Structure 1
Amino acid sequence: MAQFTSDGLALAYDEFGPADARKAMVLVHGFSSNRYENWKRMGWYDAIAGKGLRGFALDCRGHGESAKPHDPALYDRAAMARDVFNLLDHAGVERAHLLGFSMGAHIALVAALADGRRIDHLVVAGVGGRIFDPPREPGAMARAMEVASPDEISDPMLKSFRHFADEQKEDRLALAACSRGGRTELTRDALMAIRRPTLVIAGARDQLAGPPQGLADAIAGAKAVTIPGCDHFSMISHGLFKASVFDFFDGWLD
């Protein structure tokens, strides 16, 4: 297992594809997932290597094989965006394409706002127009991770995240702390500062994300793709997800 250090935390990552590739790409997974489940098992490592890219996928702090502190102060999304850049520094990579899913998409957007010069192209998936909505019930996700049994959770979406965390044998207290971490406000006005080619992807039935066009409209020149028949979770394994990303890439990989 490869590791790098960010803010004093040991974070796990994988590298794949040709080490001498001209272009690199970083993958950032969703909440309660990890680099294997979100990306490797779904064929992304092989697909990216097959495109001749040098690929990287990290376990975000609090997830997978990375450090799992229980202090919400250590999960500020700006700090988690710095983890992406610290991985690039560790690997000796100046610029990379960035793909984030769900929580990873939030991190990718914050990274693009913090230092867009290091991002070639930006793909944010599992997010859409509802990114601008206030939380329906602040702290609900954290409480869903903390209760003794998923049977105590009434909200189907929260219960799905809890079941997934249990299946992955994640540290639920670390996930609760991550859920309570500080957020960078992603307003429409703020996102207009992003000046990278951007693709927004969400499933047609993704009630958590909402329509991708609602987010794409807030980013200059961004494109939106809706994956038919998919909710937030089923989109990850849908072939059109990968196809949409590489269609977007087509023309600038050479």
Structure 2
Amino acid sequence: MTGPQFLTQMPEPKFLMVGDGYRIATYSWGEDAAPTVALVHGFASSTKDNWVATGWVRDLTAAGFRVLALDQRGHGASDKPHEASAFDIRQLALDVESVLDTYLVDEAFYVGYSLGARVGWEVVQDLSPRVPRAVLGGVPDGIPLARLDVAQVRRLIADGTPVTDRVTLNYLALAERVPGNDLRSLLAIAEGMRSSHTVDPDPVHAPQQPVMFATGSLDAVIEGSRALAAACPQGRFVEIPDRHHFNAPGSRVFRSAAIAFLREG
């Protein structure tokens, strides 16, 4: 399918059950024999919002890749638990592994944005023989969602107390923009990221394979992302001009640089 409709056309999700009992929605485009790119979206987003509506699926398939994507737990058509314990960073990485195993994918490139990029930092190390090259966009060098004011969101849910923190308001606007988001589940994600099991990315144990880091020039996490790129033996950094954290996925510069990088593999 070509033309404008391809930007928003979604196949029916295929569901798989992961180890702790939650259903994960997955999607696939392209020929099975083509090189596979696994796409993992950011917080309060979804496969459709982060990758389809922005042209990534269109451009990747046009470039000859097979695309395999998932709605991370708490998002899209996947299950949306309200318990913070369901959102351990290690479990999010295991969800990606489960998708690759279910689709019998022995090797895949990885492309993640924001929370999906932070999960990718784990995946590219856990599955290094299976992930020869990765793109991590808007990746924080600290705990994901650390700038979200959890207490204010709790009060908003409990009694409607208005949120005043500017960064938190931006996250809420993002959450409201994507149909089907569950605010209690998104709050649980933020709380889960603060658990003792989630640690800052450790540059001492940086991925060894080629990794492209890309962050908007107006994004508050840009210097941390640049530092992670510098810590990787085969790291590369791309600054996405005139983009902040919430609109960088739609950048043509970002897409073009990522596809060119993946083609090097």
Runs of 5+ consecutive residues of structure 1 not aligned to the other structure: none
Q: In the alignment, residue 175 of structure 1 is paired with which amino acid? A: L
The 5 A counterparts of 1:154-169 are: 154-168=164-178, 169=180
Distance in 2 (CA, whole Å) between partners of 1:145 and 1:41 is: 31
Shift of residue 134, structure 1, vs aligned partner? 9.8
Distance in 2 (CA, whole Å) between partners of 1:134 and 1:30 is: 10
Contact 2:118 2:144 in 1 (8 A): no
Partner residue, 1:12: 25
Comparing 150-159 and 49-58, the one that deviates more:
150-159
Distance in 2 (CA, whole Å) between partners of 1:153 and 1:120 is: 42
Partner residue, 1:172: 183
Partner residue, 1:76: 88
Distance in 2 (CA, whole Å) between partners of 1:112 and 1:122 is: 7
Partner residue, 1:45: 57
TM-score (structure 1 length as normaliser): 0.89
Shift of residue 63, structure 1, vs aligned partner? 0.6
Partner residue, 1:207: 220
Contact 1:98 1:122 in 2 (8 A): yes
Q: Is 2:157 the partner of 1:144?
A: no
Comparing 227-236 and 85-94, the one that deviates more:
227-236
Q: Percent identity?
A: 26
Deviations 1:198-226 (A, max 9, x none): 00000011014436422201111200000
Q: Is 2:37 the partner of 1:25?
A: yes
Q: In the alignment, residue 173 of structure 1 is paired with which amino acid? A: R
Partner residue, 2:244: 231
How many residues were matched structurally? 246
The CA RMSD over aligned residues, in Å, is 2.2
The 5 A counterparts of 1:117-128 are: 117-127=129-139
Runs of 5+ consecutive residues of structure 2 not aligned to the other structure: 1-12
Shift of residue 186, structure 1, vs aligned partner? 1.2
| Distance change in 2, residues 1:239/1:59 (3 Å) | same
Distance in 2 (CA, whole Å) between partners of 1:108 and 1:153 is: 30
